[in-house]
Amino acid sequence: NSGDKPEEKLNQDLGPETPDPEDAEVTWKPHADDVGNKDSEQGKRIAAVPPMPQTVHVVFRVHYITHLEAQQIAITGDHECLGQWRHYIPLRCDKDGFWSDSVVLPFDTSVEWKFVLMESGKVVRWEECSNRTLVTEHEDQVAHKSWGYH
């Protein structure tokens, strides 16, 4: 709205993950050149905003040829972002039979996970190997794996 106050517009543009500006602590810190200069205290403020949650994007990728239109590859795992073994994150297939998608996970997190074959929304085949493990670090990463092999 053109009638919004500037601070209301700012709050609308910040998005859901941005800390509320009302929660920010505003402090004044003198610059080394300004120590002892009372005029320098006016108009100099630093906003200390709480840190954002740190996450990374992990692309899960596997080659698997499905035989029915209703079949789809998905992933599941022990972390809530991976469905906690009860829900499944469907992957998207490209024309060459590679299934992939990106999942946001917290950094410095260890997860166990597997690929699964879904048919009409139900798991019809779990990967036969033991659970896969992944440790996120501070950079986005790709988990490009072969079905059933570590």
E strand residue ranges, the chain:
25-27, 46-48, 55-63, 71-77, 89-90, 92-93, 98-106, 110-119, 122-126, 132-135, 141-146
Which residue ranges make up each domain of the chain?
59-146
Q: What pLDDT does residue 135 have?
A: 97
CATH architecture of the region 59-146: Sandwich (2.60)
Q: What pLDDT does residue 37 have?
A: 57
What are the tokens at 32? 């080394």
pLDDT in tens, the chain (150 residues): 444 444 444 344 443 444 444 444 544 455 555 555 555 555 667 777 777 669 999 999 999 999 999 999 999 999 999 999 999 999 999 989 999 999 999 999 999 999 999 999 999 999 999 999 999 999 999 999 999 998
